[in-house]
Structure 1
Amino acid sequence: MSIDKQEIEQLINKQIATVERKIKSLKELTQAIAPDDAIGRVSRMDAINNKSVNEAALRQSETKLQKLHEALERINDDDFGVCVQCHGPIQPGRIVLMPESRKCMKCAK
């Protein structure tokens, strides 16, 4: 099975839009937690913990977005879909699921 670069490009663009929406939502969730007398100590600790989790998710999403943009830039390169480690083909299913991946499943382990 060969890869259709036009389909992969559409898929990448859809993933970019999804990740951008997620980043926007996460940025709202990671706003500073203002000291508020109405919030209890435990609730405030929960809010701070949730903020930390959301900040980690935000960093991860921003990294994925960057990699998706990089994949989009190199989609027409001759080596797109070729593993950077073993130089063999990256499995089409992996490209569909993770178009930003630069390694085949074997080398990614």
Structure 2
Amino acid sequence: MIEVEDYHQRLLQEREDLRQQAESTSADRRPVELDQQSVGRLSRMDAMQVQAMAKASEQRRQNRLRKIDAALKRIEEDEFGYCVACGEEIAPKRLELDPTVPRCIDCAEA
């Protein structure tokens, strides 16, 4: 039997952590200034690379937040721990690794 409240708290904490990370890295995603007087060409290229990596990290964060929100919704609807495709119970070890998984291993591989 899975302890839904434990997963609920874990998901809420991860969501809060991701939101804090997004807030703390927002400056890295800002547009890079093209003023060559204040920043040299190589420094600007470095800044653009940092910006691109920050945007990619933010995209991964947003994808994870969507998965967390979907899992929290399944908890609210008393559907957490059951495969959205076949309705069978998702293995507890699978949920322990990632509580956002919506499918059992059989349906995930299909």
TM-score, normalised on structure 1? 0.82
CA distance in 2, matches of 1:4, 1:43: 51
Which residue identity lines up with residue 30 of structure 1 in the other structure? Answer: R
| CA-based RMSD | 1.9
Give 4+ residue runs of structure 1 displaced > 6 Å after superposition: none
Q: Quote the sequence identity (%).
A: 30
CA distance in 2, matches of 1:63, 1:82: 21
User: How many residues get paired?
Assistant: 108
Residue aligning to 1:45: 45
Which residue identity lines up with residue 53 of structure 2 in the other structure? Answer: V
TM-score, normalised on structure 2? 0.81
Unaligned runs of 5+ in 1: none
The alpha carbon displacement at 1:104 in A equals 2.6
Residue aligning to 1:88: 88
The alpha carbon displacement at 1:106 in A equals 4.3
| Equivalent residue runs for 1:70-85 within 5 Å | 70-85=70-85
Q: Deviations 1:53-88 (Å, cap 9, x if unpaired)?
A: 211111121121122122112204343111223433
More RCO (CA 8 Å, sep 6+): 1
| Equivalent residue runs for 1:1-109 within 5 Å | 2-36=1-35, 37-109=37-109
